[in-house]
Every structure is written in C-alpha cells, then in structure tokens.
Amino acid sequence: MSNSAETESQQQRATLMELLREEDDSRLARAAAGVHPADLAELLDSLDENDGKLRLFGVLTAEHGSEVMRHVGDATRGLLQDNLSDARLATIVEHLDTDDATDLLGELPEDRQQELLDQTSPETRKDVEELLAYPEDSAGGIMKTEVAVVGATATVRDITEYLRHRGDEFHDIHQVFVTGERNRLLGSIPLRRLLLARDSTPAERIMETDLVSVRTDLDQEEVAHLFEKYDVVSVPVVDSLGRVCGRITIDDIVDVIEEEATEDMLRLAGVAGESVEVADPIHGVRSRLPWLALDLIATAASAAVVAMFEGTIQTIAIAAALMTIVARQGGNAGLQTLTLIVRGLAVGQIETSQALRIVGRECVVALANGTALGLTAGGVVYVWRGDLALSVVLGSAMVLNFLIAAILGTLVPLGLKAVNVDPAVSSSVFVTAGTDMLGFFIFLGLLSLVVQ
C-alpha cells in the first residue's frame, strides 16, 4: 500500500470511529460506503465492543456487506452470524460468489443452513447445496459455479453476446471454457485471444486444448500445487466424466495456501485448531493437553534414562549440566530437519520414496555441524575443567546425537506420511523425545565407560 493510500485509509478509519461515537447512522452509512471492504473488515475486527461491530455492519448495503463478510476474522464472522437476522444473512449469501456463500453457510448448523437457503433464489440454493455436498478441503468444496461455458461451434460474436448478457454473474473472468457433447470439457479461450479473433471465428478454432483441469475430489493442497507448477490464475473443475462443474481462481488458492501453512504450523506446535481470535479456554485445554501429556511421558522416559546413570553423575557432578547441552543441541538440530521435511511434504517437493537420499544428505549436514560444535564445546570444557576425557566424551556425544537427530527428523515424518498419518501432528514430540533420551544415554553411557 502506498503512503497516500495508507494515509487515506487511516483518515477513513478515524472518521468512522468518530461517527460510531456520535451515533449518527445516516452519516456513518455514507462514510462507510466509500471504504474498501478489506479496510472495513480490519476495522470491525479491531473494535472491542460487539455493539459497535453490529452497528457498523448494519449500515452497509447487502452487496458491500457481503464483500466485508469475506474479509473479517473468525470471531467477527461468528458474531455476525449469531446476531444478524436470517433475512439479512440470506441477502448477503445471495450477493456472494457460490464458493464464499458455501463457506459461510458451512459454518452454521444444518437447520439454519436450510432456513437461509429457503430464503435465497432457486438458482443460488441449487448451486450452494451442490457445493455443500463436497468435502470442504476438496476442489469441489472451494470452487465457484459461476463459470463461462460455450459450445465448440459458438462464434466469437456469440461468445461476446453471452458474456455481455451474463457479465454480472462473473465477478472475475480470465477465460471461457469450451465444451462438447454432454458438457465435457474440450478447451479454453483466454480473453486476450477472444478479443483479437474475428467475430465469425468458431470457438474450436481459437481454443487452447492443453489446459490444466482438476477433478472435484482432488485435495485442495494438490490443487494449490498445480497452480504453482503451471503458473495459472484459473482452472476448470470437472467431474469423473469430464463435465465442467465450476472453476477455481487464484484468490481461492491464496486462501488455501494460508490455511494449510497455518494448519501445519499449529500442528507442529501441538495447538491445531486453535485461534487467537477465539478466547475459549476449554478449547485451548482440549487442544493442548493431549500433546503436553505425551510430552510428559517422553520426559519421564528421558528421566528414567538419566536415573540409570545416577552413580556416574554422582562421581562427576558436572555431567548433570553437560548432558543437557547434548540433548538440547540434538533437539534443535532434529527440529530443523523436521521442519524442512514437513514443509517439503506439504508442498509436494519430496516423496517417501526419496527417504534414503534425504537421510544421507541430512547426515552429512549433521556430521559437519556436530563436528564443528562438538569440537567447540569439547574445547571449552577442556579449558574450563582441564579434563581431556570429559571433553572427548562431550564432543563425541554431540556428533552422535546430531546424526540421530538427522535420522529421526527425516524418517519420523516420512514414516507417518507413508502410513497416512499427518506428519505435522506429532512428529515434533517423537523427534524431541528421541534426541533427549538417546542424547542422555550416549553421553552418560560414554562417560560411565571413561569413569570405570
């Protein structure tokens, strides 16, 4: 955003805040009408009082309000869904693209979904009901049914008239899809090619046949990979018979990428499904407690390993401090590898069949890093304590634990993926537990041999 645009947005925000305090709805409505929906959504999310949110949204037109609804956060959208009348919500649904309308209704109880759909037009009701039948994380679940489709024999003049008469249905259009018998997809015509062609040219003469299409049951992550791979801004969605059902545009994919990245990040931290916007402590407890409990079990196992070498620790007290260095460094190295692997799996860069090659690469990196840090830590301990044996044990344990971290950080997520378990869910617990337990065991085991 340029400085001038940012300044204007801040001025509009200040004006709306002042009008909210003055309780002048007519002036508030006029002022809000000139504000971009994204800026209005940002202001709504920032308001502390629910009454102010409802009042500001209440003065918006149905068309403007539908665009704002697309941008607001989960907490604000939930507030609006709970407090707006069915008639108001139904009007907003009518003005949304079918994919956005489906997302909005999909968050509501089934009985209210039906009540709202009964108040919309038959065409909207039919389209949304069809989309609600698809899994929400599939191509069918994120597509919009507003799609420009023409027959192969239609001329450029026919297509132009078709778009002119139905232009209001397409908020954004990048291409016209060409179908043959039984609505099966044959190709597409980019708008640029359509504009440059003669009026009498049939669609089949100017269509591109090497277009990328996706099936309705394809996972949304795979759809995002196709957008990235082929650098497209819109793709048609077809059913099992190749018939056009809808289209997915780049704005939908941006939302998918953000959603999937956020989901993976939260899962790695053991807080999947949580949001800072939702202040429900019960949900937070349910989300985090299982993973904290699993971590407690892993920590107890690590403590049991340490207890096995109680005599060694009593003989060389400094071992209690040094063993934490080995475990901590190994854990950090393992999480670095784990993050790379989980991200690579998420974006389709690596497959489980590449496990050996990836393990080999990570072991080389681990050996180099472990040797450098092991020599450094061992050298510092030797200067500090003057004990060569203790220094060698510390350095050797760090090298070995770095190698273990590389192996676990690679094989744990790849193994979970191979058995159809999301690697982002619990990989970090297993990797950290493994590097802790084995790090303690290696260091204290080597040290006990030296002490003897």
Range of 221's domain? 149-268
CATH number where 239 lies: 3.10.580.10
Higher pLDDT: 231 or 354? It is 231
The per-residue pLDDT for 342 is 82
The number of folded domains in the chain is 3
Q: Please write the tens of the pLDDT for every residue from 164-178.
A: 888 777 777 889 999
Same domain, 116 and 165: no
* d(C-alpha 115, C-alpha 48), whole Å: 30
Same domain, 263 and 286: no
Residue 268: pLDDT band (50, 70, 90) is low
Same domain, 13 and 71: yes
Same domain, 255 and 343: no
Q: How far is CA 64 from CA 59, 67, 251, 407, 440, in A?
A: 10, 5, 18, 54, 61
Q: Please write the tens of the pLDDT for every residue from 180-192.
A: 988 899 999 999 9
Same domain, 31 and 128: yes
Same domain, 318 and 430: yes
3-state secondary structure of 107: coil
Same domain, 84 and 175: no
Same domain, 94 and 203: no
Q: Please write the tens of the pLDDT for every residue from 343-370.
A: 787 766 777 777 788 889 999 999 999 9
The per-residue pLDDT for 273 is 56
Q: Would you say residue 140 lies in a domain?
A: no
Mean pLDDT for the chain overall: 87
Q: Please write the tens of the pLDDT for every residue from 401-445.
A: 999 999 999 998 888 888 877 776 667 888 988 999 999 999 999
Q: Would you say residue 290 lies in a domain?
A: yes
3-state secondary structure of 215: strand
The answer to whether 149 and 158 are in contact (CB under 8 A) is no
pLDDT at 332 over 80: yes
Domain boundary among 234, 268, 302: 268
C-beta atoms surrounding 10 within 10 Å: 11
CATH number where 43 lies: 1.25.60.10
Same domain, 99 and 163: no
Q: Would you say residue 273 lies in a domain?
A: no
Q: How far is CA 158 from CA 82, 119, 168, 195, in A?
A: 46, 34, 17, 13
Q: Would you say residue 344 lies in a domain?
A: yes
| Of 199, 172, 180, 445, the residue nearest 323 (C-alpha) | 445
The answer to whether 414 and 343 are in contact (CB under 8 A) is no
Residue 289: pLDDT band (50, 70, 90) is confident
In the numeric block, which tokens belong to residue 120?
A: 């919309």
Same domain, 288 and 414: yes
Q: Please give the average per-residue pLDDT across 369-394, as a whole number.
A: 93
